[in-house]
Amino acid sequence: MGGYHRGEIAVQERAGFARQAGHAHGAIGNTVPDVAVAFLADQPHLVVGGTDERGRVWATQLTGEPGFLTVPRPQTLHIGALPPPEDPLAAVLAGAGAGVGGGAEFGAVGGAGPGPEPARIGMIGIEPATRRRMRMNGRAVRDGHGLRVELDQVLSNCPKYIQKRDHHPVTDQGTPTPRTAVDSTELSPAQQRTLRAADTFFIATTDDRGDADASHRGGNPGFVQVVSPRLLRWPDYAGNAMFLTLGNLELNPAAGLLVPGWETGTSLHLTGSARTVWDGEEVARHPGAQRLVEFEIAAVREIAAASPLRWSAPAFSRFNPPTAA
């Protein structure tokens, strides 16, 4: 694991946080601390970002009973779940490093030469009830009914902008909602309303080499602006000064968003391209913003009954700035 890449450094310097970023870099490791092992073991879900077989970047969510995330050794995460077939990353993750296993090194199958590549993914373990989260990036291969991830980056994040929620499994005694997927190239009126009411989403990005990252974004309802059915805008608030997301966008504009349906289990997935807006007059119209991000939508997938989890109404973070008028 090296230092910051050139995109991250460029954004840190432009934002005036190069010194703070230098100090913060010490928080990035490539092993999971003992306290984080216990944290992951308690989680029923994990946000994952990656690239599909067509080169599009998506963010999604994997779920399981607590204990489905384990750390067999400090630099390895095992995920005891795969996405359902309707998921935009299902094919890539189900076939990640196919044939690699049984102690073989990544990229080699039985000594016969290079094999299928592992999937480079970014991940967030997040516990809204306690406002704790940690990010992990690495290379995943299929391992039975789950994934084995060799970690390249591990870091904890501050609790800012996380809305407090408690989860519970579905307890509906009636006919279960079938899992269905609807695709489009722009947001429907209902999906636009979902985004305008959103207080949380997750964004996946990659650098120019394909190394992936997944990050959390939160704010008061209304912080995501629907400019048009194919264009979103949101404020970029003060964070950890690393600029891992914006640094990736500096090198590769491809990005994917996941908007969880906390109360319904529906997931809204968007893929497209994003850019950072630095214009001072534009930024000044958004309270608390240090920059803006604009996201142009290329494809939309909405999956009903994507998650078995349901969550309580949010207690909003005290750090959320007011939304723009």
Residues 132-159 have pLDDT tens digits of 999 999 999 999 999 999 999 999 888 9
User: Counting runs of H as helices and runs of E as strands, what totals does the chain give?
Assistant: 7, 17
Tokens of 111: 């000594």
pLDDT at 209: 95
pLDDT, position 106: 44
User: What are the E-state strand segments in 26-74?
Assistant: 45-51, 57-63, 69-73
Structural tokens at position 198: 């959103």
Q: What pLDDT tens digit does each residue of the chain (325 aa) get?
A: 568 999 999 999 999 999 999 999 989 999 999 999 999 999 999 999 999 999 999 999 999 999 999 999 999 999 999 999 999 999 999 999 875 444 334 443 334 445 578 999 999 999 999 999 999 999 999 999 999 999 999 998 889 999 999 998 777 666 778 999 999 999 999 999 999 999 999 999 999 999 999 999 999 999 999 999 999 999 999 999 999 999 999 999 999 999 999 999 999 999 999 999 999 999 999 999 999 999 999 999 999 999 999 999 999 999 999 998 7
Report the distance separating Cα 308 and Cα 127, nearest Å. 16
Dihedral sign from CA coordinates of 221, 180, 136, 7: negative
Which pLDDT does position 114 carry in this prediction?
Answer: 55
**So what's the pLDDT on residue 174?**
66
DSSP 32: -
- Count of beta carbons in the 10 Å neighbourhood of residue 27: 12
Residue of 11, 122, 152, 143 lying closest to 68 (CA atoms): 143
Closest CA to 205 of 34, 46, 50: 50
Tell me, what DSSP letter sits at residue 286? S
pLDDT at 115: 59
Whole-number Å distance between alpha carbons of 281 and 135:
33
Among candidates 247, 251, 256, which has minimal Cα distance to 296?
Answer: 256
Query: pLDDT tens digits for 53-80?
Result: 999 999 999 999 999 999 999 999 999 9
pLDDT at 157: 81
Phi first, then psi, for residue 323 (nearest 5°) are: -85, 160
Give the pLDDT confidence score for residue 177 in this predicted structure. Answer: 81
